[in-house]
Amino acid sequence: MQIKIRDFQAIERADILLGGLVLVTGKNAQGKSSVLKATAAALTGQLQFGLAKKDAKALVRNGASTATASFHQGADSSVMTLWPKCERSTTGQPLSLSPIAAGLESLLDLSAKDRAKLLGDLLKTAPDRDDFVSACTDVSIAEEIAVKVWDDIEAKGWDAKAADIADKGARLKAQWEAAAGTKFGAEKVKTWRPEGWTEDLADASADDLSAELSEAKQTLERAVAAQAVGQAELDRLAAACADIDELKERSIEARTTATKLTAAHNEAQRERDALPPAAQAAGLTCPCCDAALQLSHRTGANQHLVKADVIGADELKRRRDAIASADGKLSRLKGEHDAAERAATMAQSAYQDAQKAERQLAEAREKATSGDAGDDVATIRARVATAETRLKALTAKDEADRVAKLLTVNLAMQAIMAPTGLKKTKLVKVLDTFNGGPLRSLCEAAGWRDVRIEADMGVTHDGRPYEQLAGLGPQLSSDQYRVYATLQVALAQVQGCGMVILDGADVLDQKGRGGLLKMLRVVGIDALIGMTFSAPDVVPDLEVRGMGRAYWIDGGIARPLGEALAAKSRKEAA
pLDDT, position 166: 95
**Tens digits of residue pLDDT in 530-548:** 999 999 999 999 998 889 9
For position 229, what pLDDT does the model report? Answer: 53
Query: C-alpha 404: how far from its chain's center?
Result: 19
Report, as an integer, the average pLDDT of 140-149.
94
Average pLDDT over residues 452-472: 93
Confirm whether 566 is domain-assigned. Answer: yes
Question: Considering the domain boundaries, does residue 338 fall inside one?
Answer: yes
Query: Considering the chain, what percentage of its residues have pLDDT values greater than 90?
Result: 69
Domain ends where: 375, 395, 415?
375
pLDDT band with cut points at 50, 70 and 90 for residue 137? very high
Q: Which has more pLDDT, 507 or 572?
A: 507
Q: Are 133 and 147 spatial neighbours (Cβ–Cβ below 8 Å)?
A: yes
Q: Do the Cβ atoms of 443 and 452 come closer than 8 Å?
A: no
**Separation CA 506–CA 532 (nearest Å):** 5
| Any domain includes 164 | no
Q: Give CA–CA dist 21/26, Å, rounded.
A: 16
- Which pLDDT score is estimated for 366? 76
* Lowest-confidence segment of 151-165, 182-196, 219-233, 549-563 by average pLDDT: 219-233
The verdict on residue 168 lying in a domain is no
Cβ count within 10 A of residue 9: 20
CA distance 268 to 127: 112
Mean pLDDT for all residues in the chain: 90
pLDDT tier, 377 (very low <50, low <70, confident <90, very high otherwise)? confident
Q: Label residue 232 by pLDDT band (50, 70, 90).
A: confident
Give the domain-ending residue among 375, 400, 426.
375
β-partners of residue 5 are 14, 69
- Give the CATH number for residue 84: 3.40.50.300
Q: How far apart are CA 316 and CA 338, in angstroms?
A: 33
Contact of 69 with 78, CB cutoff 8 Å: no
Domains contained in the chain, number: 2
Give tens-digit pLDDT for 403-419: 999 999 999 999 999 98
Per-residue model confidence (pLDDT) at position 283? 55
pLDDT the model gives residue 310: 76
Is the per-residue pLDDT at 83 higher than 80? Answer: yes
CA atoms within 13 A on the CB side of 159: 0
In-domain check, residue 158 = no
Predicted pLDDT at 373? 45
In sequence order, what are the residues at sequence separation of 6 or more whose Cβ sits closer than 8 angstroms to the Cβ of residue 503? 32, 33, 36, 103, 529, 530
Whether 281 and 309 have beta carbons less than 8 Å apart is answered as yes
Q: What backbone torsions phi and psi does residue 282 show, to the nearest 5 degrees?
A: -160, 145
pLDDT of 502 above 70: yes
Residue span of the structural domain in which 546 resides = 1-97+498-574
Average pLDDT over residues 170-188: 91
Among the ranges given (169-173, 298-302, 416-420, 523-527), the one the predictor scored with the smallest mean pLDDT: 298-302
Sign of CA dihedral 30, 35, 36, 37: positive
Q: What is the mean pLDDT of residues 300-322?
A: 78
108 domain residue, yes or no: no
Choose the final residue of a domain: 375, 407, 432: 375
Higher pLDDT, 59 or 290: 59
Local confidence band at 568 (pLDDT 50, 70, 90 cut-offs)? confident
Mean pLDDT of 460-483: 91
Whether residue 316 has pLDDT greater than 90: no
Q: Are 401 and 193 in contact (CB under 8 A)?
A: no
Asked if the model's pLDDT at residue 446 lies above 60, the reply is: yes
Mean pLDDT is lowest, of 210-224, 228-242, 472-486, for 228-242
Structural domain includes residue 475: no
Q: Decide if 57 is inside a domain.
A: yes
Residues 233 and 370 occupy one common structural domain: yes
Q: What does the pLDDT look like over 250-294, one tens digit per residue? A: 999 999 999 999 999 999 999 988 888 877 766 566 777 766 666
